[in-house]
Amino acid sequence: MQLVINGLSKTYGNGVKALDNVSLTIPTGMFGLLGPNGAGKSTLMRILATLQEADSGSAMLGTIDVLKDKHEVRKVLGYLPQEFGVYPRVSAYQMLDHIALLKGVINNGDRKAIVEALLQKVNLWEQRKRRIAGFSGGMKQRFGIAQSLIGEPKLIIVDEPTAGLDPGERNRFYNLLTEIGENVVVILSTHIVQDVQELCSNMAIINKGQLLYAGAPNDALHAVKGRIWEKSIAKSELDGYNAAHTVISNKLIAGRPVIHVYSDARPDGFESAEPTLEDVFFSHINGAFRSVAA
C-alpha cells in the first residue's frame, strides 16, 4: 500500500499559505518529512489524519480517498500527535483498554490480549498499573506508539516524536519505530535531521508550505556531493562571509564558527566537506539548491 498526495493546498484565514500544491508518493516503510517549525508539516499531518480540511487537492491511501472517506481512513490510521492528552489519574493499562474499546474491540478477551501485547511491545508492561501522568517523556511517547497501533493500522503518523527525549529514550524510540515501519506506511514529521537519517529510506523537505525535495536520503546526499565547503573563521568575519558566499550553516567548534558554504567551485581558503543530511536540509531551506523531485 502507498499514500499518493496530489496538489494538496491549505490557506488559513489570516492569509498564511500552509500548503502550496504539495504532491508526494509515500511507499510502505519509514518516510521522513523534514522542515523547520512553521513549514506546514503539522498542517499536512492533520489533514492526512482527518482532523483538518484541505482547500484543494487529493490524497489516496490505496483505494481509500483520505479527504472524502474519513471514517474508512480512521479504521486504518494510527496517529501520534506532537502533544496528546490523557486522563491523568488513569493507568496505562486502563487507558489502552479504553482506547481499544473506542476503536471497536468489543470482546473483553480480545481487548485484554491486544492491550497486554502492546504493553509488552513498547516495554511498558512493568509500568502498566502506573498513572500516565507520572510517566517520563520517553514513556509517554512509547505509550503514544502503543495507542497508535491498536487496530493494526496501515498508516501511522507521528509528529515530532523525539522532541525533549534524552539520547537513551530517543534510541529506544528509534528501534521501536523501525520495527513498526517494516509493513505499514509510517510518516515521521520532524525538524530533527538525525531522526530522518537514522530511520528513513525515503524523505521529503518542506518549507513555507512548498515541497523542496522528495526522494531517498542517499540520492539527496549525492546531489550535493562536491558542492559543500567548510572553513573555520573568526566570529567577527561571519557577516562578511554571509555577504560574499552562500553560507548554508554555521556552528561553533572550540569557540570558533565553522561555516558550510554551497558552491559548484571551491571558494578560496575553503576545504571540501563530506556532505551530511543536515547540509542537504539547509541547502534546500536556504534556497541554495532548488530541485523538486517529480
Q: Which of 73, 36, 27, 32 is nearest to 51 (CA)?
A: 73
Report the distance separating Cα 96 and Cα 90, nearest Å. 10
For residue 91, count CB atoms less than 10 angstroms from its CB and return exposed for 0-12, middle for 13-18, buried for 19 or more.
middle
Query: Which residues of the chain fall below pLDDT 70?
Result: 84-86, 289-294
Report the distance separating Cα 115 and Cα 125, nearest Å. 10
Residue found under cell 517529480: 294
Residue 93's pLDDT is 95
Architecture of domain 1-76+153-213+289-294: 3-Layer(aba) Sandwich (3.40)
CA angle, 191 as apex, 190 and 195 as ends, to 5°? 60
CB 135, CB 164: distance < 8 Å: no
Residue 84's pLDDT is 67
CA 73 to chain centre: 20
- Pairing mode, if any, of strands 256-262 and 247-253? antiparallel
Task: Give the number of other CB atoms < 10 A from CB of residue 143.
Answer: 23
Residue 261's pLDDT is 95
- Domain residue ranges in the chain: 1-76+153-213+289-294, 84-151, 226-274
Residue 291's pLDDT is 40
Helix intervals (H) in 65-213: 70-75, 92-102, 108-121, 137-148, 167-180, 193-199
